[in-house]
Amino acid sequence: ELPDGLNFLAAHPNLLVSRTFSKAYGLAGLRIGYGVTTKEIAAVLNKIREPFNINRFAQVAAWELLNNQSFVRKTVSYVNQEKKYLYRELAKCDLSFIASATNFVVVNFKKNTESLNTYLLSKGVIIRELSGWGLPSYFRVTIGLKKENKKFIKHLKEYIGRSRQ
């Protein structure tokens, strides 16, 4: 279980703890989240935010998920299970990765990822190259459904096998 950071608010009046619905809640496309902070910081933020900064659909989706924590726990459990599968398979490929508490894994491919990305895209697998963040040998892969994760590993192994020939 990860710390939620809320316990720091009393001791640090300049702190804002933010939460996203993108990861465990699976609402990345809706761009919704929330922050917990002091009344003073909230007042400043409310002066600069747009009046209708999220749409009704996003609000309803977030509300429903907040009221369905059993779904969220089940989703987090599933993601953690699939993450372990990816960790094992990446280790078999002799690739290091950054262990994560999120729904994605950052992988060190040990060489530029541009060619790998092109190959995986041709197979219908999407990764995010991290060269734009100064990490040209790293990529990020989102933990998906079991069949998606297997497809990613299959094509990753194919690419590695081809590049060793």
Q: Where are the domains of the chain?
A: 6-67, 77-164
Whole-structure pTM value: 0.77
Residue 94 clears pLDDT 60, i.e. is over it: yes
Name the pLDDT band for 117 (thresholds 50, 70, 90).
very high
Q: What's the pLDDT band for 165 if we cut at 50, 70, 90?
A: low
Does the pLDDT of residue 28 top 80, yes or no?
no
Res. 39: pLDDT tops 90: yes
- The token duo for 29 is 């496309």
126 by DSSP, 3-state: which? coil
Higher pLDDT, 154 or 19: 154
Residue 50 has pLDDT above 90, yes or no: no
Is residue 23 scored above 90 in pLDDT? no
Q: What percent of the chain has pLDDT over 90?
A: 60
CATH code that applies to domain 77-164: 3.90.1150.10
Q: What percent of the chain has pLDDT over 70?
A: 98
- 3 versus 164: which is more confidently predicted? 164
Q: How far is CA 130 from the centre of its chain?
A: 14
Q: Quickly tell me which residue has 């316990």 as its tokens.
A: 7
| Report for 12-26, 38-52, 100-114, 115-129: range of highest mean pLDDT | 115-129
pLDDT for 72 equals 84
**Side-by-side strand order, sheet with 138-142:** 96-98, 104-108, 138-142, 128-129
In this structure, is the dihedral angle defined by the CA atoms of residues 152, 155, 160 and 163, taken in order, positive or negative?
negative
pLDDT in tens, 52-93: 788 889 889 889 888 988 988 898 899 999 999 999 999 999
